[in-house]
Structure 1
Amino acid sequence: MKAIYLLLSILCCSSAIARDPNFIIIFTDDQGYADLGCFGSKTIKTPHLDQLAAEGLKLTDFHVPSPVCSPSRAGLLTGCYPKRVGMHRHVVFPKNTYGLHPDELTIADHLKANGYATACVGKWHLGHVSQTLPTANGFDSYFGIPYSNDMSHPDNKGKPRMSQDESWKNQDKFSPLWKTPLMRDNKIIEVPVNQRTITRRYTDEAINFVTKNKDKPFFLYLPHSMPHIPLYVPDDVLDPDPANAYKCVIEHIDAECGRIFKTIKDLKLEKDTYIIFTTDNGPWLQFKNHGGSAGPLRAGKGTTFEGGQRVPFIISRPGTIPAGKSSAELVSSIDLLPTIATLSGHPLKAKNKIDGLDVTEVFTKNQSSSRNEFLHYTSNGKLEGIRQDDWKLLQKQPHRKSKNKKTTAMLFNLKTDLGEQNNIAEKHPEVVVKLSNRMQELDAEITKNARPIFGKR
């Protein structure tokens, strides 16, 4: 009897000291599907992120809900297609006064309500008036650039004109010409921010936050400004050859990620911390050596082809996430809100409808995804396609200057044609009709129940 009582006492004590897990989301900007060693890069060395993948799970069929910045970020944080929360029409510019409505439930809102310390460190790009900043959307603190690093305060006018190669070769000359602001909470503290050191400063801020909150559950959202152009790095990691600019920036980000991973291990928090790494959309291919690579995928940023919306994804938590695994299950960044809620031990009780699905078992048991379909919207928020199992349909609208005004149906079987090279729409007209009807049905519900942004566009 005494032995049973002792066992129950131990179990009760263990339960009492168990803590909710921490979450870190590292979210880069315009990084391509093939821009990590563990995702096939033969030139870019990313040992720290490769190690994260070796210690955790890599998803090879992970998608973001938009091929550009602002809508993708809205989807990640709210668990919704951007159209549902009004953030689907391209990106927020410095002169705009609208943004994500503070009434929307974000990952940070949910975790903060359940006792988490929350911080956003990096690029926000969901509005920069006070009611739309991170501190109005569930984050205790904010440190970062409020929009893209190629935008200038206050009205985006007077931006420098130079070639990206020239900018890379003369970083001290060209970096200060961008009047890009740095904010702390809701105040601008520097104009221009030193873009050469911003990746490292983000890391310093992130480490300070983690260290300060090591004894309580925390959520760190770290959306890096790089590798969005213009590209800059500190002197101590600079490769002066502009042909290696993009490679140099990604390797710098990897090294800075390594500092965070080391901090987590030094604090003995690795078994209590989920670390997620992904990016907002595909590579900006037109910038060549200043843009990335989508590898086997077609096209890149700004398109609904796989290269625009299929991105690298890694999740790790030793002892909880199976190590060294890879999954080809269909998952989206809009699934992270409900999944993180479940993983935190505080299931989601959202009052408004979301589009994200709980994919906990994909992460923790490497099982099948609860998602089998996914809508594709253009960078301006127009419905353009749907993924359903291995089928992908795109209804491509003609260019506005084209004389041909007819929509082109493009049907691909991604299982046999990952690069989307063989349009088989004419061979499977019944599939085209079925998928077209389904995407219109799903979009009609979203349109009918879409919620407002804050402010006016």
Structure 2
Amino acid sequence: MRSYILFLLVGLSALFSCKEEIERPPNIVVILCDDLGYGDLSSFGHPKIQTPNLDGLAAKGMKLTNFYSAAPVCSPSRVGLMTGRSPNRAGIYDFIIGGNNPRLNNRDIVHMQANEETIPARLKSVGYATCLSGKWHCNSHFNNTEKQPTPDQFGFDHWFATHNNAAPSHENPNNFVRNGEEVGEIEGFSCQIVVNEAMDWLGKQKKDQPFYLQVTFHEPHVPIASPPELVAKYLPYAQNENEAQYFANVENVDIAVGKLVEYLEKNGHDNTLIVFSSDNGPETLLRYSKAIHSYGTTEGLKGRKLWTTEGGFKVPGIIYWMGQPTFNGETDAVVSALDLMPTFCELAGADLPQRELDGQSLTNFLKTGRMTREKPLLWAFYNALNDQVVAMRDGDWKLMARLKYDTAYLPKITNVYVGNIDSVRNAELVDFELYNLAADENEWIDLSADRPEELAKMKATLATEYQALLADSHVWARSETQ
């Protein structure tokens, strides 16, 4: 009898232990490239760049062919990802400049404000350890706690970051800050430095504590620098050395990702959800003087970084959940970086922020590879290089529009502030373009004249969604202390 009871207790103990293991929230790793184009990985169609580690993640997990960033430029894209909200709600309308010189449009004071709730803060509230390693670009006054919040105030236990780009280039950067302290020059290449920091942090964490790790590479944003041996590898296949530098830059990222994944596998992190993507589309070659290495590709999508066409914010997406059964293969479901906040909160058992979110949970999508969006995806990027600065995707359809105020088109603007808010709010949506992305992902055929019923339906939806976004968009006003 005593042996039977002992056997029963051991069995129950094993059962509860197994249940606890199954229900343990996953570790989460978000890996974000900077200016990586939709077609820059070999698994997404690049004929020359070799990315075996990322291709391997896509093969073992999920390859997302309709993954969208929150904006077609870096700062708003990053804020959108971390908050699950359109960056317009946070007042991040364009890339954030340094805050040393006051500007009439108040752009120098733009930053992610302290009241924004972020992924790391939500996960930290339920016991996660959190780390940022790489590019930040969410403050105009970087590492200045007196003027603006720093990454630790948004939930990062440990942060190792730069304001914007690695300087003077990806090689031997000297502008990293670790937990508020300037580090000085570091030997090596930025993506490897960033991964080494992440692995060093992981090695110091408790084995039984889940973690959130945000790895934000500077590559392949300019100023580009790549290992000479990788550049030499691509010289026979490139038009010139600058293009070989770009190809090598992307492969160097792939090597860094491979190193991080190998570390996770070897150290028993077998319940780790990995998400890989880019903050926006690729830079345009020679758009400005430093863009001499910008040979990224969109795989035929129209436009590039700073455009509201597909090439501006449709980016490669890969999800791999180590040690857990998920949908395996390619999916054309429409997924957004805005979806990460609600997804991670649900998986971790954290409460959602008590404010309007624009993303939705992907937990069922992870199992099936299919999803139906509860609300359209909307972008209002007022400084777009193309004319149609407002874009909305709803199902297979995409509608784009210009903004007209009074008798003229609204000029391109980099910030919404007290001096222009009236013109922004009163501008009219005009000059619509309509595309069926299921049949025409490259946006060649404008169907606005041929599909009047669909156009009317989409216009009505856009009017509702855009007005709701406008009403909740932050307006920057300079206080007496700024």
TM-score tier, shorter chain, comes to 0.7 to 0.9
> Relative to structure 2, which stretch is displaced further, 114-123 or 285-294?
285-294
Given the superposition, is the C-alpha separation of residues 189 and 318 from structure 1 closer, same or farther in structure 2, using an over 3 Å criterion? closer
SS of residue paired to 2:399: strand
Is 1:348 aligned with 2:371?
A: no
1:72 pairs with 69, 77, 81, which one? 77
How far apart are residue 194 of structure 1 and its match? 5.7
2:420 corresponds to: none
Please tell me whether the aligned partners of residues 343 and 363 of structure 2 are also in contact (alpha carbons under 8 angstroms): yes
CA contact (8 A) 1:81 1:334 kept: yes
Name the amino acid aligned to 2:471: K
Q: Cα–Cα, structure 1 residues 51 and 247, in superposed 2: closer, same or farther, change >3 Å?
A: same
Q: 1:184 aligns with which of 178, 199, 203?
A: 178
Q: Secondary structure at the match of 1:342?
A: helix
Confirm or deny that 1:422 pairs with 2:445.
yes
Q: How far, CA to CA, are the matches of 2:257 and 2:159 in structure 1?
A: 19
Aligned twin of 1:160? none
Cα shift at 1:289: 4.7
Any idea what the Cα deviations from partners look like across 1:97-143, whole Å, max 9, x if unmatched?
A: 43101221101001111111101000000002333321111101111
Shift, 1:453, TM fit: 7.3
Please tell me whether residue 336 in structure 1 is matched to residue 330 in structure 2: no
Distance 1:415 1:137 in 2: 38
User: For 1:6 and 1:197, how far apart are their aligned partners in 2?
Assistant: 52
Q: 1:341 to 1:321 in 2, by over 3 A?
A: farther
**TM superposition shift of 1:42:** 1.1
| Structure 1 residue 314, shift from structure 2 partner | 0.5
- Determine if the alignment matches structure 1 residue 314 to structure 2 residue 326: no
Alignment of 1:18-417 (within 5 A): 19-93=24-98, 95=100, 96-127=108-139, 128=142, 129-130=144-145, 131-149=148-166, 181-190=175-184, 193=185, 197-213=189-205, 215=207, 216-239=209-232, 241-269=241-269, 271-287=270-286, 289-322=293-326, 324-344=328-348, 346-371=349-374, 373-378=376-381, 380=383, 384-396=390-402, 407-417=430-440
Checking the alignment, whether the CA contact within 8 Å between 1:373 and 1:388 is kept in structure 2 is yes
Counterpart code for 2:331 = S
Is the CA contact 2:327–2:368 (under 8 Å) kept in the aligned structure 1?
no
Distance 2:433 2:136 in 1: 34
**What is the CA–CA distance in structure 2 between the aligned matches of 1:213 and 1:187, rounded to whole Å?**
21
Bigger RCO (CA 8 Å, 6+ sep)? 1
After TM superposition, give the deviation of residue 324 of structure 1 in Å: 3.8
Residue 434 of structure 1: which of 440, 453, 457 is its match? 457
Q: CA deviation at 1:9?
A: 2.9
CA distance in 2, matches of 1:351, 1:454: 25
Partner SS state of residue 59, structure 1 = strand
| 3-state SS of paired residue (1:258) | helix
Cα 1:406–1:435 shift into 2, 3 Å: closer
User: Deviations for 1:373-425, whole angstroms, at most 9, x for unmatched residues?
Assistant: 21122264896121111111111356959xxx994321111111111001111
Post-superposition offset of 1:449: 3.0
Asked whether the 8 Å contact 2:66–2:314 carries over to 1, the reply is yes
How far is 1:196 from its partner?
5.7
Say if 1:454 and 1:356 are closer, same or farther in 2 by CA, change over 3 A.
farther
Deviation, 1:44, is: 0.6
Distance 1:350 1:197 in 2: 37
Of 115-124 and 360-369, more deviation after overlay is shown by 360-369
Q: CA RMSD in A?
A: 2.8
| Cα distance in 1 for residues equivalent to 2:366 and 2:374 | 13
Between 129-138 and 8-17, report the one with greater CA deviation.
8-17
Contact 1:35 1:41 in 2 (8 A): yes
Alpha-carbon distance between aligned partners in 2 of 1:208 and 1:406, rounded to the nearest angstrom = 50
Match of 1:126, SS? coil
**Does the CA contact (< 8 Å) of 1:78 and 1:334 recur in 2?**
yes
- In the superposition, relative to structure 1, how do residues 427 and 206 fare at CA in structure 2: closer, same or farther (>3 Å)? same
User: Do the aligned partners of 1:282 and 1:300 also contact (CA within 8 Å) in 2?
Assistant: yes
In structure 2, stretches of 5+ residues that fail to align are 101-107, 236-240, 287-291, 404-408, 413-427
Between the aligned partners of 2:333 and 2:429, the Cα distance in structure 1 is 34
Give SS of 1:337's match: helix
Contact conserved, 2:96 with 2:110, CA < 8 A, in 1?
no
Distance 2:477 2:271 in 1: 36
User: Structure 1 residues 214 and 57, CA, compared in 2 at 3 Å: closer, same or farther?
Assistant: farther
Q: Is the 8 A contact 1:101 1:452 kept in 2?
A: no
- Counterpart Cα distance in 1 of 2:264 and 2:149: 30
Within 5 Å, give how 1:443-454 maps onto structure 2.
443-450=466-473
Which secondary structure state, in structure 2, belongs to the residue aligned with residue 396 of structure 1? strand
1:393·1:410 contact (CA, 8 Å) conserved in 2? yes
Unpaired runs of 5+ in structure 1?
A: 153-166
Q: Structure 1 residues 107, 453: CA separation in 2 closer, same or farther (over 3 Å shift)?
A: farther
Q: Which moved more, 1:429-438 or 1:350-359?
A: 429-438
Change (3 A) 1:49 1:294: same
- State how far apart, in whole Å, the 1-side matches of 2:411 and 2:468 are: 27
| Matched residue, 2:425 | none
